[in-house]
Amino acid sequence: MKRGLIFLSTVLALASCKTSNSLIEIEQEIKQTSEPEVVILEEEDDFLTKEQKHKIALQKYIPLTPENKFNADGSEKAPFNLLEGGLEEYIKKIYIIKDKDFYHEYKWAAAHAHTDERIICLPKWYNKSLLFHEAAHVRQGALDEITLFTENWIGVANIRYGSLADVTNEDVLWKDGTDEPREGCVTAYGSTNSYEDVATFVGALGYEKSPLEALIDLDNNIDECIEMYPLYFCDKNDARYQKKLDLLYEYGFFNYQEYCSMTENLGCLRYLWKN
Ligand SMILES: [Zn+2]
Ligand SMILES: [Zn+2]
Protein backbone atom coordinates (compact mmCIF):
# COMPACT_ATOMS: atom_id res chain seq x y z
CA MET A 1 0.00 0.00 0.00
CA LYS A 2 2.99 2.32 -0.30
CA ARG A 3 2.55 5.26 -2.62
CA GLY A 4 5.23 7.72 -3.53
CA LEU A 5 2.97 10.70 -3.88
CA ILE A 6 -0.39 11.23 -2.30
CA PHE A 7 -2.55 14.10 -3.38
CA LEU A 8 -5.16 16.29 -1.83
CA SER A 9 -8.31 17.11 -3.68
CA THR A 10 -9.41 20.62 -4.47
CA VAL A 11 -12.70 19.78 -2.85
CA LEU A 12 -10.99 19.75 0.47
CA ALA A 13 -8.43 22.37 -0.41
CA LEU A 14 -10.92 25.00 -1.51
CA ALA A 15 -13.29 24.10 1.24
CA SER A 16 -10.56 24.48 3.77
CA CYS A 17 -9.23 27.64 2.23
CA LYS A 18 -12.57 29.28 2.59
CA THR A 19 -12.41 28.73 6.33
CA SER A 20 -9.75 31.37 6.70
CA ASN A 21 -9.93 33.39 3.50
CA SER A 22 -12.65 34.13 1.01
CA LEU A 23 -12.43 32.28 -2.29
CA ILE A 24 -11.82 35.57 -4.05
CA GLU A 25 -8.87 36.32 -1.84
CA ILE A 26 -7.43 32.88 -2.56
CA GLU A 27 -7.82 33.31 -6.30
CA GLN A 28 -6.15 36.69 -6.15
CA GLU A 29 -3.35 35.25 -4.12
CA ILE A 30 -2.87 32.44 -6.62
CA LYS A 31 -2.75 34.94 -9.46
CA GLN A 32 -0.16 36.99 -7.64
CA THR A 33 2.08 34.07 -6.83
CA SER A 34 1.62 32.05 -10.00
CA GLU A 35 3.93 32.46 -12.92
CA PRO A 36 2.92 32.10 -16.58
CA GLU A 37 1.55 28.67 -17.44
CA VAL A 38 3.95 28.21 -20.33
CA VAL A 39 6.96 26.23 -19.20
CA ILE A 40 9.91 26.29 -21.54
CA LEU A 41 11.56 22.91 -21.43
CA GLU A 42 14.92 21.74 -22.61
CA GLU A 43 14.57 18.99 -25.21
CA GLU A 44 15.62 16.25 -22.81
CA ASP A 45 12.96 17.43 -20.31
CA ASP A 46 10.35 15.82 -22.53
CA PHE A 47 11.59 12.47 -21.27
CA LEU A 48 11.16 13.41 -17.64
CA THR A 49 8.09 12.36 -15.71
CA LYS A 50 6.04 14.93 -13.80
CA GLU A 51 7.49 13.56 -10.57
CA GLN A 52 11.05 14.01 -11.84
CA LYS A 53 10.30 17.58 -12.93
CA HIS A 54 8.84 18.28 -9.49
CA LYS A 55 11.94 16.92 -7.75
CA ILE A 56 14.18 19.08 -9.93
CA ALA A 57 12.02 22.13 -9.13
CA LEU A 58 12.37 21.41 -5.40
CA GLN A 59 16.13 21.90 -5.63
CA LYS A 60 15.72 25.67 -5.78
CA TYR A 61 13.92 25.79 -2.42
CA ILE A 62 15.33 25.51 1.09
CA PRO A 63 12.96 23.33 3.10
CA LEU A 64 12.00 23.82 6.73
CA THR A 65 13.26 20.97 8.90
CA PRO A 66 13.10 20.03 12.60
CA GLU A 67 16.63 21.47 12.81
CA ASN A 68 15.97 24.87 11.25
CA LYS A 69 12.35 25.40 12.36
CA PHE A 70 13.15 27.97 15.08
CA ASN A 71 13.11 31.75 14.93
CA ALA A 72 15.81 33.73 16.73
CA ASP A 73 13.51 34.13 19.76
CA GLY A 74 13.08 30.35 20.07
CA SER A 75 9.53 30.25 18.70
CA GLU A 76 8.69 27.88 15.86
CA LYS A 77 8.43 29.06 12.28
CA ALA A 78 5.21 28.48 10.35
CA PRO A 79 3.90 25.97 9.57
CA PHE A 80 5.71 23.94 12.25
CA ASN A 81 4.08 26.20 14.86
CA LEU A 82 0.66 24.84 13.85
CA LEU A 83 1.51 21.16 14.36
CA GLU A 84 1.11 19.25 17.61
CA GLY A 85 3.53 16.45 18.53
CA GLY A 86 1.83 13.55 16.78
CA LEU A 87 1.44 15.13 13.38
CA GLU A 88 4.91 16.66 13.53
CA GLU A 89 6.77 13.64 14.86
CA TYR A 90 7.92 12.05 11.61
CA ILE A 91 8.16 15.06 9.30
CA LYS A 92 11.67 15.56 7.96
CA LYS A 93 11.12 18.45 5.54
CA ILE A 94 8.39 20.93 4.62
CA TYR A 95 8.61 22.72 1.28
CA ILE A 96 6.46 25.80 0.61
CA ILE A 97 6.48 26.17 -3.16
CA LYS A 98 4.88 27.90 -6.12
CA ASP A 99 1.88 26.17 -7.73
CA LYS A 100 3.73 25.72 -11.01
CA ASP A 101 6.42 23.61 -9.33
CA PHE A 102 4.06 20.81 -8.25
CA TYR A 103 3.53 19.27 -11.73
CA HIS A 104 0.38 17.60 -10.41
CA GLU A 105 -1.48 15.13 -12.57
CA TYR A 106 -4.93 16.47 -11.69
CA LYS A 107 -6.23 20.04 -11.76
CA TRP A 108 -7.73 19.69 -8.30
CA ALA A 109 -4.53 18.61 -6.56
CA ALA A 110 -3.29 21.32 -4.24
CA ALA A 111 -0.46 19.74 -2.22
CA HIS A 112 1.11 16.36 -1.56
CA ALA A 113 3.31 14.26 0.68
CA HIS A 114 6.32 12.13 -0.22
CA THR A 115 5.47 9.54 2.39
CA ASP A 116 8.57 7.38 1.99
CA GLU A 117 10.85 10.38 2.45
CA ARG A 118 8.61 12.00 5.07
CA ILE A 119 8.41 15.26 3.20
CA ILE A 120 5.40 17.49 2.60
CA CYS A 121 5.05 20.08 -0.15
CA LEU A 122 2.54 22.90 0.33
CA PRO A 123 1.49 25.82 -1.88
CA LYS A 124 2.23 29.32 -0.60
CA TRP A 125 -1.47 29.77 0.16
CA TYR A 126 -1.72 26.65 2.37
CA ASN A 127 -3.99 26.67 5.39
CA LYS A 128 -4.28 24.55 8.50
CA SER A 129 -6.52 21.85 6.97
CA LEU A 130 -4.18 21.37 4.05
CA LEU A 131 -1.16 21.17 6.35
CA PHE A 132 -2.85 18.65 8.67
CA HIS A 133 -3.99 16.57 5.68
CA GLU A 134 -0.46 16.22 4.36
CA ALA A 135 1.04 15.72 7.82
CA ALA A 136 -1.41 12.84 8.29
CA HIS A 137 0.00 11.15 5.18
CA VAL A 138 3.51 11.30 6.61
CA ARG A 139 2.42 9.93 9.99
CA GLN A 140 0.46 7.07 8.41
CA GLY A 141 3.39 6.20 6.13
CA ALA A 142 5.74 6.11 9.13
CA LEU A 143 3.31 4.08 11.25
CA ASP A 144 3.02 1.52 8.45
CA GLU A 145 6.60 0.54 9.13
CA ILE A 146 6.07 -0.15 12.83
CA THR A 147 2.35 -0.73 13.52
CA LEU A 148 -0.83 -2.31 12.12
CA PHE A 149 -2.62 1.05 12.00
CA THR A 150 -3.58 0.87 8.31
CA GLU A 151 -4.76 -2.73 8.59
CA ASN A 152 -6.91 -1.78 11.59
CA TRP A 153 -8.27 1.24 9.74
CA ILE A 154 -9.19 -0.77 6.66
CA GLY A 155 -10.96 -3.26 8.93
CA VAL A 156 -13.08 -0.48 10.46
CA ALA A 157 -13.73 1.24 7.10
CA ASN A 158 -15.24 -1.90 5.57
CA ILE A 159 -15.54 -0.51 2.02
CA ARG A 160 -13.89 -1.36 -1.26
CA TYR A 161 -11.59 1.64 -1.58
CA GLY A 162 -11.52 3.06 -5.09
CA SER A 163 -14.87 1.60 -6.16
CA LEU A 164 -17.28 4.25 -4.85
CA ALA A 165 -16.13 7.53 -6.40
CA ASP A 166 -15.30 8.87 -9.84
CA VAL A 167 -11.95 10.61 -10.17
CA THR A 168 -11.75 13.06 -13.08
CA ASN A 169 -9.46 15.95 -13.85
CA GLU A 170 -12.15 18.29 -12.54
CA ASP A 171 -13.13 16.69 -9.26
CA VAL A 172 -13.60 13.58 -7.14
CA LEU A 173 -17.26 12.81 -6.45
CA TRP A 174 -19.45 9.88 -5.43
CA LYS A 175 -20.89 7.95 -8.36
CA ASP A 176 -24.12 9.99 -8.09
CA GLY A 177 -22.20 13.25 -8.56
CA THR A 178 -22.38 14.46 -4.93
CA ASP A 179 -19.70 14.95 -2.32
CA GLU A 180 -21.54 14.65 0.96
CA PRO A 181 -20.13 12.65 3.90
CA ARG A 182 -21.13 9.03 3.42
CA GLU A 183 -19.97 5.42 3.88
CA GLY A 184 -17.97 6.32 6.98
CA CYS A 185 -15.94 8.79 4.89
CA VAL A 186 -15.81 12.56 5.35
CA THR A 187 -15.76 13.16 1.58
CA ALA A 188 -15.94 11.12 -1.62
CA TYR A 189 -12.19 11.65 -1.99
CA GLY A 190 -11.72 9.79 1.28
CA SER A 191 -13.17 6.65 -0.31
CA THR A 192 -10.40 6.48 -2.93
CA ASN A 193 -7.87 4.83 -0.59
CA SER A 194 -7.11 4.47 3.12
CA TYR A 195 -4.53 7.27 3.01
CA GLU A 196 -7.02 9.85 1.75
CA ASP A 197 -9.64 8.51 4.15
CA VAL A 198 -7.32 9.11 7.10
CA ALA A 199 -6.13 12.48 5.80
CA THR A 200 -9.62 13.86 5.19
CA PHE A 201 -10.48 13.10 8.83
CA VAL A 202 -7.28 14.71 10.11
CA GLY A 203 -7.78 17.69 7.77
CA ALA A 204 -11.07 18.33 9.57
CA LEU A 205 -9.04 18.96 12.71
CA GLY A 206 -7.75 22.02 10.90
CA TYR A 207 -11.16 23.67 10.51
CA GLU A 208 -10.72 27.24 11.61
CA LYS A 209 -14.37 27.82 12.47
CA SER A 210 -16.52 26.12 15.08
CA PRO A 211 -19.90 24.73 13.90
CA LEU A 212 -21.73 27.84 15.09
CA GLU A 213 -19.21 30.25 13.56
CA ALA A 214 -19.37 28.28 10.29
CA LEU A 215 -23.15 28.62 10.12
CA ILE A 216 -23.08 32.34 10.87
CA ASP A 217 -20.23 32.93 8.43
CA LEU A 218 -22.14 31.18 5.62
CA ASP A 219 -25.53 32.78 6.40
CA ASN A 220 -26.92 29.32 7.27
CA ASN A 221 -26.28 28.07 3.73
CA ILE A 222 -26.30 24.34 4.50
CA ASP A 223 -24.99 23.18 1.11
CA GLU A 224 -21.93 25.41 1.37
CA CYS A 225 -21.48 24.40 4.97
CA ILE A 226 -21.48 20.70 4.02
CA GLU A 227 -18.93 21.37 1.31
CA MET A 228 -16.59 23.27 3.59
CA TYR A 229 -17.13 21.49 6.93
CA PRO A 230 -18.26 17.94 6.06
CA LEU A 231 -17.25 16.55 9.47
CA TYR A 232 -20.08 18.52 11.05
CA PHE A 233 -22.58 16.64 8.84
CA CYS A 234 -21.41 13.03 9.21
CA ASP A 235 -23.99 10.46 10.28
CA LYS A 236 -23.18 9.50 13.86
CA ASN A 237 -25.47 6.45 13.54
CA ASP A 238 -22.80 5.02 11.26
CA ALA A 239 -20.42 3.69 13.92
CA ARG A 240 -17.46 3.80 11.53
CA TYR A 241 -17.03 7.55 12.02
CA GLN A 242 -16.45 7.37 15.77
CA LYS A 243 -14.36 4.22 15.45
CA LYS A 244 -12.08 6.03 13.01
CA LEU A 245 -11.69 8.97 15.40
CA ASP A 246 -10.87 6.48 18.17
CA LEU A 247 -8.16 4.89 16.01
CA LEU A 248 -6.66 8.28 15.13
CA TYR A 249 -6.42 9.12 18.82
CA GLU A 250 -5.04 5.68 19.72
CA TYR A 251 -2.29 6.07 17.11
CA GLY A 252 -1.33 9.61 18.08
CA PHE A 253 -2.77 11.70 15.24
CA PHE A 254 -4.73 13.72 17.83
CA ASN A 255 -4.02 14.67 21.43
CA TYR A 256 -6.77 14.10 23.98
CA GLN A 257 -8.17 17.61 23.75
CA GLU A 258 -8.30 17.41 19.94
CA TYR A 259 -9.94 13.98 20.13
CA CYS A 260 -12.66 15.32 22.45
CA SER A 261 -13.29 18.28 20.18
CA MET A 262 -13.48 16.09 17.06
CA THR A 263 -15.86 13.69 18.83
CA GLU A 264 -18.07 16.56 19.96
CA ASN A 265 -18.16 18.16 16.50
CA LEU A 266 -18.72 14.92 14.57
CA GLY A 267 -22.13 15.17 12.92
CA CYS A 268 -23.24 18.02 15.22
CA LEU A 269 -25.01 19.95 12.42
CA ARG A 270 -26.53 16.97 10.62
CA TYR A 271 -29.92 17.63 12.20
CA LEU A 272 -30.13 20.80 10.10
CA TRP A 273 -29.68 18.77 6.93
CA LYS A 274 -31.18 15.31 7.44
CA ASN A 275 -33.32 14.07 10.29
ZN1 LIG B 1 -4.08 13.44 0.39
ZN1 LIG C 1 6.77 17.35 -3.40
For residue 252, pLDDT over 60 is answered with yes
- The rounded Å distance from CA 74 to ligand 1 centre is 31
Q: Which of 212, 209, 155 is nearest to 184 (CA)?
A: 155
Q: Which of 8, 7, 17 is nearest to 227 (CA)?
A: 17
Mean pLDDT of 63-82: 97
Sort strands 165-167 and 172-174 into parallel, antiparallel or unpaired.
antiparallel
pLDDT of 37? 54
Q: What is the pLDDT of residue 88?
A: 97
pLDDT tens by residue, 200-243: 999 999 999 999 999 999 999 999 999 999 999 999 999 999 99
Instruction: Report the candidate in 243, 257, 146, 258 with the shortest Cα–Cα distance to residue 198.
Output: 243
Distance CA 140, CA 194 (A): 10
- Residue 135 Cα to ligand 1 middle (Å): 9
Residue ranges per domain, the chain?
A: 5-272
Four-residue CA torsion sign, 232, 238, 242, 245 = negative
- The pLDDT of residue 211 is 97
pLDDT in tens, 73-103: 999 999 999 999 999 999 999 999 999 999 9
**Above 50 in pLDDT, residue 18?**
no
Over 50: is that where the pLDDT of 19 sits? no
Q: Say how many Å lie between the CA of residue 12 and the centre of ligand 1.
A: 9
What are the beta bridge partners of residue 94?
Answer: 64, 120
Look at residue 46 in the predicted model and tell me its pLDDT: 78
CA 131 to centroid of ligand 2, rounded, Å: 13
* Closest-approaching ligand to the CA atom of 53: 2
Ligand 1 mean position to 200 CA, how many Å? 7
Distance CA 152, CA 49 (A): 34
